[in-house]
Amino acid sequence: MKRSYRFFALLLVTLFAVFPALATETPATTGTPAAPTDSATAVPVSTAAPFSLADLTLNNVTPGLTMDAVKAALGAPMSQGTETTSPATGSKLQDWNYDGLLVSFTDGLVSCIDTTSDAYQGPRGLRVGDSEETVRNTFYYDVTEKHRTVLYSAGWIDSLSEPFPPCGTATKWDDGTLYYQYLAPVQPYSADVLAAPETYLFQKHACLTLIIDKETKIVTDLSWFVDAMAE
């Protein structure tokens, strides 16, 4: 895996904001979620909590963890990428590669995780190989939500044609791939952001993305990061 995936995740959110027509609103897969089943992983909508920064974990790796702490949790990486400098922020960036897992650091602290392996357990026990139903029932969703790609939100931003965080979305793209994405601010929004909701993009957020195969309806990629949505 390459570090470019992190920027793809950021781009995915931005594209959804600027070009909402790219997403296909298909009621069968991205509409109001079906009622939870009696399976062990199903959570009643009335008790499932919305996604938050506290959910971001993967095998005891959390945002802001040091390199030494990551080695203690996961062992030494298979390889380490070359440290680079972000042209936008001046931050030092480096990737560590494990089997089916990419750990990205910003200034020596964990900022991004991306895995395609079922060996790693992520937020609320989610992992690669879980079903779409399991993902859908793990976090809160609003059965009265009128925007079919929106699972829940704090409101709607007309200028961007997108939900206001904290929010969850389930988007089906043209190739049939499903993207479940959850977004929450790291800190409560200031009065300035509440007055101009579109500026939330410049605030630091926790973001969780799960990519679901169109045929098997199982998770093939789980990633999360903590960063501003736009620079």
Q: Which tens digits make up the pLDDT trace of 199-208? A: 999 999 999 9
For the whole prediction, is pTM greater than 0.85?
no
- Burial (CB < 10 A; 0-12, 13-18, 19+), residue 188, is exposed
* pLDDT tens-digit series, residues 132-148: 999 999 999 998 889 98
With pLDDT > 90 as the criterion, what percentage of the chain qualifies? 72
Rounded distance between C-alpha atoms, residue 104 and residue 92, angstroms: 11
pLDDT of residue 144: 85
* pLDDT tens-digit series, residues 22-76: 333 333 333 333 333 444 455 444 468 999 999 999 999 999 999 999 999 999 9
Confidence of residue 231 (pLDDT cuts 50, 70, 90): low
For the four alpha carbons of 228, 12, 184 and 104, in that order, the dihedral sign comes to negative
For the four alpha carbons of 184, 189, 195 and 201, in that order, the dihedral sign comes to negative
pLDDT of residue 30: 35
Confidence of residue 88 (pLDDT cuts 50, 70, 90): confident
Mean per-residue pLDDT, 182-195: 96
CA neighbours within 13 Å on the CB side: how many for 93?
18
- How is residue 196 annotated by DSSP? S
Among 47, 73, 213, 25, which residue's Cα sits nearest to residue 137? 47
Mean per-residue pLDDT, 79-84: 96
